[in-house]
Structures are given as C-alpha cells and as structure tokens.
A = this chain, B = another copy of it.
C-alpha cells in the first residue's frame, strides 16, 4: 500500500474541489465528516442510508476527496481516521466550502435545500 498523498494547501486546485464535490455520495461523506467533528473512519462514514456503497467505490471516493485536498486521512491501527481540511481550505478559498455545503443543504444543522 503506497503512502497516502495529500496536496499542500497551495497546490489545491479549485477544479479538483468542485469535481470531488460534484458527486452527491462524496458530498454526503464529506458533510458527515464535517459535521462529526472528530475523525470518522471510512466504514463509519459509509452509511448514507439509501445504498450500500461497495468497498472499492468507497475507497475511491476517499481517494478523490483526499487528493483534491478536502480531507486528511491517517492510518490509526487497523482503521483510517479522516478529517476535513475546512479551516485551511477556507483560508485559501474563502467561503467556498460553506457555500457548497449550503447549496446542497448539507451544512450541519440546516434544512435541506434540495
């Protein structure tokens, strides 16, 4: 297993962010992670209610989120702890993440807009 790649803050590309968050499943995962404060594991974040996401797809979702710069993942024992990079991101792209989550109606503790 090669080490996980995380882009440096200044290397994060807006197109990668938008692409990553143009998939509702990934948004749901990311929003859940943003809401859940601490680091959720992959499988804990996987339950989106409506569908069983195959492990490999899930792994790929996390990879896309990670490599776009949206999350940080770190192995801790047998599982993976994930956390958002929201604070950093907001410095680089002010208001972006919040506006996106709001658009999806996924901002923690907010009524669904969609």
Q: Which A positions have Cβ atoms within 8 angstroms of B? A: 13-19, 21-24, 27, 92-96, 98-100, 102-104, 113-114
Contacts and interface: CB of A to CB of B under 8 A. Distances in A.
* Majority SS at the chain A contact face: helix
11 contacts: A14-B103, A15-B23, A18-B18, A18-B22, A19-B22, A92-B113, A93-B103, A93-B113, A95-B102, A96-B99, A96-B100
Contacts of A19: 18-19, 22
Contact of A103 (B96, B102, B104, B114): B96
Contact of A93 (B17, B21, B92, B99): B99
A96 B113 CA distance: 13
A14 B94 contact: no
